Structure formats: structure tokens, C-alpha cells
């Protein structure tokens, strides 16, 4: 059961809005996969650094990988930075 199918969340309108948004996206799984691949490739930069494994990264580089994923996901899905203010 996914969170979207959980009866405890059936009245959660913000969650339903997120679900609907994802359902409207074209091929989201492949796009997310591409973003993850690009993020790791850009941080590892194996051709230049000789590192090809996530484990080879320093802690600060691992942290930056998460930031890179966020940046590329926002770009891929045309998402704004941060949260929208509640009315």
C-alpha cells in the first residue's frame, strides 16, 4: 500500500495535490533516474578524478550530492525553490 492508497490519508488534500501533480508528469520515474545518474556523475567526475564509487567521496562531497540532486530535480520538473507560503 502506498501513502496515496492509505485510508488514513484519504482526507489529506495537500497530499492529494502532490499525487495529482505526479500523475500529470510525463515519465517521472525515468526522469528522476536520469537526474540521479547525472548528479552522481557530475560529483564523482570519474574521468577527471578517477573516482567511480559513492564511497570514494568525502563527507562534504556526499552532502553536495544531495544538493546537486535537489538542484537538478527542480530544473527537470520546473519546480520553485523552497515552499510556497500557505494562505
Q: Per residue of the chain (87 residues), what is the pLDDT tens digit?
A: 565 677 777 788 888 898 899 999 999 999 999 999 999 999 999 999 999 999 999 999 999 999 999 999 999 999 998 776 454
> What is the rounded distance in angstroms from the CA atom of residue 13 to the CA atom of residue 19?
10
- The pLDDT score that the predictor gives to residue 6 is 72
**pTM tops 0.85, yes or no:** no
List, for residues 15-33, the tens digit of each pLDDT value: 889 889 999 999 999 999 9
> What is the rounded distance in angstroms from the CA atom of residue 71 to the CA atom of residue 66?
9
- The pLDDT score that the predictor gives to residue 87 is 46
Q: How many CA atoms lie less than 13 Å away from 68 in the CB half-sphere?
A: 17
Q: Dihedral of the CA atoms 38, 80, 58, 34 (nearest 10)?
A: -20
Element (H, E) at 66: helix 59-76
Amino acid at each position: 500500500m502506498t501513502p496515496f492508497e492509505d485510508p488514513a490519508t484519504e482526507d489529506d488534500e495537500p497530499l492529494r495535490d502532490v499525487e495529482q501533480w505526479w500523475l500529470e508528469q510525463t515519465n517521472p520515474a525515468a526522469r528522476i533516474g536520469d537526474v540521479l545518474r547525472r548528479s552522481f556523475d557530475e560529483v564523482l567526475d570519474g574521468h577527471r578524478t578517477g573516482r567511480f564509487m559513492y564511497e570514494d567521496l568525502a563527507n562534504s562531497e556526499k552532502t553536495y550530492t544531495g544538493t546537486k540532486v535537489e538542484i537538478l530535480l527542480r530544473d527537470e520538473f520546473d519546480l520553485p525553490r523552497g515552499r510556497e507560503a500557505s494562505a
